[in-house]
Each structure stands twice: as structure tokens, then as C-alpha cells.
Amino acid sequence: MKAYVFPGQGAQFSGMGLDLYEKYPKAQELFEEANDILGFAITDIMFEGTADQLKETKVTQPAIFLHSVILSRVLGDAFRPDMVAGHSLGEFSALVANGALKFEDGLTLVSKRAMAMQKACEKTPSTMAAVLGLDDEVVEKICASVEGVVVPANYNCPGQLVISGEITAVEKACEKLKDAGARRALVLPVGGAFHSPVMEPAREELAAAIEATKFSEPTCPIYQNVNAKAVNSASDIQKNLIAQLTAPVRWTQSVQQMIADGASDFTEVGPGKVLQGLVKKIDPNAVASSAELPGG
């Protein structure tokens, strides 16, 4: 069975999507529609912007979403997923790709999500840290022992977990994790504590927008971040998407479940190759590659 996976924040690069825009009329049409929906020329920043411009919250998330979704559209008949999943932001791309969300609704939600997260970051000084070389249970136990808000946020692959929370709590947890034998516990250069209780104001704001959006029954199951299980119901998809901002991304568990359910081949749709690497670390026997454009 063929699984398609969609990357999240951090995969952006200058020039992203330009090849699609220049080669495919369908892509050009969707990029221009995106400029109208967002109210600014995101294409200018994607195609010619600096790394700093691409890092702006209002740009990064829609840019990655657009690259992924438009790439899936130009693949045409070659794009036939048996199952999909997306890492954090990538879940929105996956939901447009499997027909649960319309393109314009997905883009609008992603833009609102980015702004709501930015506001939550400004409200509470917070951060994230990458932890390497410890079992998940050890990281969970140490986070629970630290005063303040610090929680596991991204279960990326065995031995690689990202924690998230208030700055002092994350720093304290990093010290304890190193003492417990972590190969690395490194604070990341991010704007805030994504996938933690710090994002609660953003979750509330986004919940209203998600509840007001029409979701359809998908063409294939999506393995959602919050429960790492195949979801086919539009109402369940909606509910899980609302929970996503404050809940951990269970990527390891999602990939393991997809393999258990018959996934034999993973294709990453969007910028970068991060998810392919994670899939292979989760299961060294898994086949993972980038989506190839028609004609090469």
C-alpha cells in the first residue's frame, strides 16, 4: 500500500515552488489563487525571498502547505494514496490531498493557525528542545518531574523526541535529561512552545475557525498526529485537528501503525527530505522517497 506523507515547519527554502509555477499551468493558477486568499504575494517570498523572510510566521506555514498541496495536484493520476499523514502543519496538507478539506479552506486555516500561534508565543515566553538518545518513557518521566510547563511535543523517531514548554522548565528538563544519559538535550531556535499547553489560546482561536469549516469524508484514511490511528470520519478529523495544537505529534507511532496496516512505500510530498529520514529510522526496512514530478 502506498502512503503519502507531508512535512511541517522547518522544511522551507528560498526558491521553493518556482519550478512548479513555471512548468505547470495548474500550479500557476493555484499559486495566484493563494496570493488572493492571503492578501499578499506569498509567491514573491517563496520564489525570491531570503531565509529570514521565509521564517516569518505568516509566510512559513502557508508556504510549506502550498508547496506540498500544489505538488500533489500536479502529480495528477500518479497521486493515488492508500493512506496519508502529515507532521504537525503537514496534517493540513494531507487533509487537502485526501479530499477532506478544500484547497481554499485549508490555506485559510493554515494562515489563521500561523497567526494564532504567533500570538500565543508572544503571550508566554517559551521554547522547545531536541532530546537524543533516551527512551520515550524516560523523557516523559523527567518532564513530569519538572516544575512548570514542559511536555513531550514531537515523537519523531525512536531516540529522538522534542520537548516543549516554558523556557525555565525546558532548560531545567534539559539538565536532568543530560544527567539521565541523553546524548543531546539542545534548546532549539524556535519562537515558542508548539504542541504544549502554552498553545491553549491558539487552540481556542483555531477551534472556532475549524468548527466553522466544512470537512468532507476523505478518499483514504489519514493517520492523525494526536492518536496515530487511521481516521476516516470527517467529524473525527475535525475534532483531532482542534486537539493538535496542544497535543504531541505522535509521528513514530503513526508510521508504525501505517506499516502495521500495510504501508509498503512512503512518498514525501513537499519541500525537504526530513520525513523520509524519520521513516527509515522508525523502520530500516521501509521504502521512502520524494515525490517525482511528471516527466522526471
Residue 181 has a CB neighbour count (10 Å cut-off) of: 10
Helices (H), 190-263: 200-211, 234-243, 251-260
CB atoms within 10 A of CB 237: 24
Rg for the chain (alpha carbons), in Å?
18
- Annotated active-site residue 67? The verdict is no
Out of 68, 72, 88, 126, pick the active-site residue: 88
User: Are 276 and 288 contacting, i.e. CB atoms less than 8 angstroms apart?
Assistant: yes
With contact defined as beta carbons under 8 Å apart, do 143 and 131 qualify?
no
Q: How far apart are CA 252 and CA 260, in angstroms?
A: 12
Q: Which of 164, 195, 196, 254 is catalytic?
A: 195
How far apart, in whole angstroms, are the C-alpha atoms of residue 93 and residue 244?
Answer: 14
Q: Which residues are catalytic?
A: 88, 195
